[in-house]
A and B are shown apart, each in its own frame.
Chain A
Amino acid sequence: MLLEANGIRKSYDGVKALISVSVELRAGEVHALVGENGAGKSTLIKVLTGAVQPDGGEIRLHDQLIEHNNPAKARDLGISAIYQQPALFPHLSVAENIAIANDGNKLWQKVDWPRRTAQATRLLQQIGARISPGALVSSLSMAEQQLVEIAKALAANASVLIMDEPTASLGQQDTGHLLRIVRELRARGAGILYISHRLEELFEIADRVTVLRDGNNAGTCEMAAVTSRELIRMMVGRELETLYPKLEIKPGKVALELRSVYCQRSKVKNVNLAVRSGEIVGLAGLVGSGRTQLAEALFGLETISHGSIYVDGSLVEIRSPRDATQAGLAYVPEDRRRHGVILEMPIRSNVTLASLDKLSKNGMLQKRAERDIAREFTERLHLKAPSIETPAKDLSGGNQQKVALARWLITKPRVLILDEPTQGIDVRAKSEIYHLIGALAEKGMAILLISSEMSEILALSDRIAVMSKGALVGIFDRQDASPDEILKLALGQNDSEVRGRN
């Protein structure tokens, strides 16, 4: 056995994160680790990498007990971790980032720059990444940063590689590339512990799977021997009615209309799109296809250089988020930890942030009204938190996303733009958010849904618009859409032809 963790226990301030968890990893396997948020996956990883000390249990590597684990020791033993958010130094070069972790014991020796550059070049080539070793990490895309993380792990001669949702912020193409690299590492005999909320991805890549639930093991089995339904049941502990509820809603009048919208800076070109009241329009496309930029343009975060926008049939001028909010638009951005919620602020202030003017009288915030509305929405969204004064940073990903949603629902928008609303959150919270989106559409809200998860976009949308290189290259009706067709359009293989009806 390559790596064995037995009966790991860990509490934070009396809250039990891991009650007793065991997992074993063979050389040359991809072992999936799944569970809801709060099941203990992250804590288990932190214990394995030495970032936190367990209260009990033991870790064995090659049948040798690891004692007094810490990040430097784990790395020296060949255990490396790649996190969802790359843990890189933005202001340092790629080569320095790759080398730095291995130089900790050469504190007072001269740094060998040429050797570092050569090593970085070799490792990056090995994983097929076209990144210059001298580039600053802050200039790289998220996908490129993940590749640097992998090179870093290779530099440490990792025999155990722990990947915590490495694809959560990647688009389809980059995900494919990453999975290919994972397979190569496996073929070379590495053991890979792979965490992801994207079940389809796990079926594609994993050999075995261990399910965690509430800090305990819920089972380990061969990936080929389970269905996704069974996996979800193991994770949640009960049958989840339907992951993707789809309500039959009769769409009303056109609520949002874009006529030949161009944004010079972000290269969005000639977008024509109408979203009707009660309709969910999915916006599919690769990372960098302009989906987020279009959403930002609609919300006044990006300058529209040409074209017009109509809300409920009347022309609106959107130059700032304020204009957009007044026009009845709301935008829940992706990457909620950076843009969606303010981590240090309590739930109450977070959810009322976009509607402070409505909650104020003569410039004075009506504290009571603020509290009432915050309570109402936390209840309505089934937000799980000790109180409305809990800071957002103490919430799970799913609950943070609900806070971000609540902030905009309070403004009673006509049009809701959701950018990757379920990125990196667990199945139960996902299912709740899907139900919520359905309920909002039923009440007549027009919804524009950006998502990189194909199954999500196919299941929820009434129509699916595909973007590629800043242009809208096709629109499918729900019944005509298929993953292959969408991907083909998104990849730009049918550049000249605009398919579907507009």
Chain B
Amino acid sequence: MKLRLQRAWPSLIALGILYIYLALAAPKFYAADNLRDLALANVAVLLVATGMTLVIVVGEIDISVGALFAVCSIICGTFAKLGVPTILWPLVALAAGGVLGATNGTLVSFVKAPSIVVTLATMVAWREALRWITNGAWIEGLPNTFQWFGLGQRTGEAVIVVSALLLFGVLWWASRNLFAVRAIYATGSDAEAARLAGIPTNQVVFWVFVAIGALTGIAALLNAVRFSDVPANSGINLELKAIAAVVVGGTPITGGRGDLVGTLIGVMLLGSIGPALIFLGVSPYWEKAIQGGIILAAVLVEAIGSWRGRRVEFA
């Protein structure tokens, strides 16, 4: 299959240069422990950014994912504490995230409210509701089977990373090959044309929000089991990290185009900066500034690309 990276090339090149430079200047970066930490730390962002790519491709935005992440973490922890068997946790996470996503989806696609306002509202609402219910208290005293799914750290880590990559791989394949996902591209490209082609655009938008909710739920679960307690206030700024990764991955914020592999590259690039700085002996305070610079560069590449883009003749 052709790798159609479109506008992700600059980020891929930047990533290549960074990794080569690290290999030369700080080979310890490639120590197994560090790579494992790096992968673990970015699992949640990858899954949420994957969902965010679909949302942006369909022409919408979801800034409530951070709040959804916190709610799903608490729900997973609560169910685990109630003694629900491990095997059911992913279903709980999927269902919780899916229902919260469906709320956004209903408001956006059937009530026709703008997604940025809808998800701003649900972001605040879920976060504040969570604060009110938990009083900021963490969920503690979880059963031994919670952390690392009770499989021990090594196996648990592998399960987390492999299942996230599997999920990503399935979605990537689907984005290229399933009509149901191609309909997302069609809707984001021209909603009216999609409607005339018989694509139920409202339902497409609705299910995209369900999908990002479900992915956020899974991300929350995979993140929560790394620790022995569940904090009440996780996922702060997750929406910004996810949107940044999507943009850096070459998906234009205007919809209709984009690629999940680009998003993977975006997550890797933005996620590698912090650890890279530590290994290179640079103050980690530079991390945010450099990430900001990368996002700005990605937007500039996109803008300059559109200047050169051929003008469509309407003569």
B128 at the interface (CB under 8 A from A): no
Q: Decide: A292 near B179, CB < 8 A? Known: A71-B195, A90-B189, A100-B197.
A: no
B194 at the interface (CB under 8 A from A): yes
Interface positions, chain B 279-314, Cβ under 8 Å from A, are: 309-310, 312-314
Q: Measured between alpha carbons, how far is A340 from B190 in the docked complex, in Å?
A: 21
Q: Measured between alpha carbons, how far is A318 from B192 in the docked complex, in Å?
A: 39
Among B182, B186, B197, the residue within 8 A (CB) of A111 is B182
Interface positions, chain A 397-448, Cβ under 8 Å from B, are: none
* Contact status A71-B180, CB under 8 Å: no
* Contact status A87-B193, CB under 8 Å: yes
Among B176, B190, B198, B313, the residue within 8 A (CB) of A88 is B190
* Contact status B314-A89, CB under 8 Å: no
Q: Measured between alpha carbons, how far is A350 from B257 in the docked complex, in Å?
A: 32
Q: Decide: A101 near B197, CB < 8 A? Known: A88-B190, A89-B186, A110-B177.
A: yes
Q: Quick one: CB contact mask for B237-259 with A, threshold 8 Å, 1 for yes? A: 00000000000000000001100
In the bound complex, residues from chain A placing their C-beta under 8 Å from that of B190 are 87-90
* Contact status B256-A111, CB under 8 Å: no
Within the complex, what minimum Cβ distance (angstroms) separates A274 from chain B? 23
Q: Decide: A89 near B256, CB < 8 A? Known: A71-B195, A72-B198, A106-B179.
A: yes
B31 at the interface (CB under 8 A from A): no
In the bound complex, residues from chain A placing their C-beta under 8 Å from that of B177 are 110-111, 113
A326 at the interface (CB under 8 A from B): no
Among B178, B179, B197, B257, the residue within 8 A (CB) of A87 is B197
Q: Decide: A104 near B256, CB < 8 A? Known: A90-B189, A110-B178, A171-B315.
A: no
B199 at the interface (CB under 8 A from A): yes
Among A51, A101, A289, A335, the residue within 8 A (CB) of B314 is A335
A338 at the interface (CB under 8 A from B): yes
* Contact status B314-A108, CB under 8 Å: no
Interface positions, chain A 66-104, Cβ under 8 Å from B, are: 70-72, 75, 81, 83, 87-92, 96, 100-101, 103-104
Please count the residue pairs between chain A and chain B whose beta carbons lie under 8 angstroms apart in the complex: 95
A242 at the interface (CB under 8 A from B): no
Q: Quick one: CB contact mask for B180-219 with A, threshold 8 Å, 1 for yes? A: 1011011011101111111100000000000000000000
In the bound complex, residues from chain B placing their C-beta under 8 Å from that of A111 are 176-179, 182
Closest B-chain residue to A140, C-beta based?
B312
Among B176, B193, B314, the residue within 8 A (CB) of A334 is B314
A169 at the interface (CB under 8 A from B): yes
* Contact status B314-A96, CB under 8 Å: no
Residues of B within 8 A of A (CB-CB), count: 28
* Contact status A142-B186, CB under 8 Å: no
* Contact status B195-A96, CB under 8 Å: no
In the bound complex, residues from chain A placing their C-beta under 8 Å from that of B314 are 142, 169, 292, 334-335, 338
* Contact status A141-B312, CB under 8 Å: yes
Within the complex, what minimum Cβ distance (angstroms) separates B198 from chain A? 3
Closest A-chain residue to B180, C-beta based?
A107
A10 at the interface (CB under 8 A from B): no
Q: Measured between alpha carbons, how far is A71 from B193 in the docked complex, in Å?
A: 11
In the bound complex, residues from chain B placing their C-beta under 8 Å from that of A103 are 179, 182
Closest A-chain residue to B254, C-beta based?
A91
Q: Measured between alpha carbons, how far is A71 from B199 in the docked complex, in Å?
A: 9
- Which residues from chain A sit less than 8 Å from chain B, CB to CB? 49, 51, 70-72, 75, 81, 83, 87-92, 96, 100-101, 103-104, 106-111, 113, 138-142, 169, 171, 287-289, 291-292, 334-335, 338
- Which residues from chain B sit less than 8 Å from chain A, CB to CB? 176-180, 182-183, 185-186, 188-190, 192-199, 256-257, 309-310, 312-315
Known: A106-B179, A111-B178. 6 other contacts (CB 8 A): A51-B195, A92-B256, A100-B179, A108-B179, A141-B312, A142-B314
* Pairs A–B under 8 Å by Cβ, sample size 9: A51-B196, A100-B186, A107-B183, A108-B178, A110-B178, A111-B178, A111-B182, A139-B310, A334-B315
Listed from nearest, the 6 A-B pairs whose CB atoms lie closest are A72-B198, A89-B189, A87-B193, A91-B256, A101-B197, A91-B189
